[in-house]
A = this chain, B = another copy of it.
Amino acid sequence: MKPLEEESSFRIEKSTQDVNKFHELRREELERIFNAAPFVANLGIRLVSLGSGTCDTELVVEPWHLQQDGYVHAGVQATMADHTAGGAAATLIKPDHMILTAEFKINLLRAAKGERLTCRSKVLKPGSRLIVVESEVLCENEGTSKLVSKTTASIAVVGVR
């Protein structure tokens, strides 16, 4: 299978570098929080993997995800980009903290037509109060995977949960 990151503009580090930083015990809790959002679960967005400051998700495109011209709605991509960014940010906060998206900006680069979306989010700048994350959504269509949107999000880290 072709690597999905092929069109990504991210410089992908070896995930093995991250192993010591990211706590395995924390992963289960983060997965639980990620999947606890009814909107994300109902859309069908699935958590694929979590690393230190990274998160990967996927979505099998269904007819109800589309807009009037048959492309995946920008709102679907925005939801995926935002929630995956939150997943990436959450890997870098303390257990008694939570995150809230303060703002995000999404550039829709191409009409998204295809069977499956994948999203990779990566922390650009960690912080104790604000974490900046980038998300790339790729759309798979007949064997090729293209970058369809890029998002930059500012995620606020807030007090005790």
Give A residues with C-beta under 8 Å from B.
8-12, 33-34, 36-40, 42-43, 63-69, 73-76, 78-80, 82-83, 98, 100-111, 122, 124-125, 129-130, 132, 134, 147, 150, 152, 154, 156
Known: A39-B64, A103-B154, A109-B125. 11 other contacts (CB 8 A): A38-B65, A39-B66, A42-B64, A74-B78, A75-B75, A75-B76, A102-B108, A103-B106, A104-B106, A105-B106, A130-B156
A140 smallest CB distance to B (angstroms) = 18
Docked complex Cα distance between A20 and B156 (Å): 31
Q: Copies of this chain, how many?
A: 4
CA distance A132 to B149 in the complex (A): 11
**Does A154 lie within 8 Å of B152, measured CB to CB?**
no
**Chain B residues with CB under 8 A of A82:** 74-75, 78
Q: Which residues of B contact A12 (CB under 8 A)?
A: 11
Residue of B34, B65, B74, B102 near A101 (CB, 8 A) is: B74
Contacting residue for A36 out of B11, B36, B68, B150, CB 8 A: B68
In the complex, chain B residues whose CB is within 8 Å of the CB of A79: 73-76, 78-79
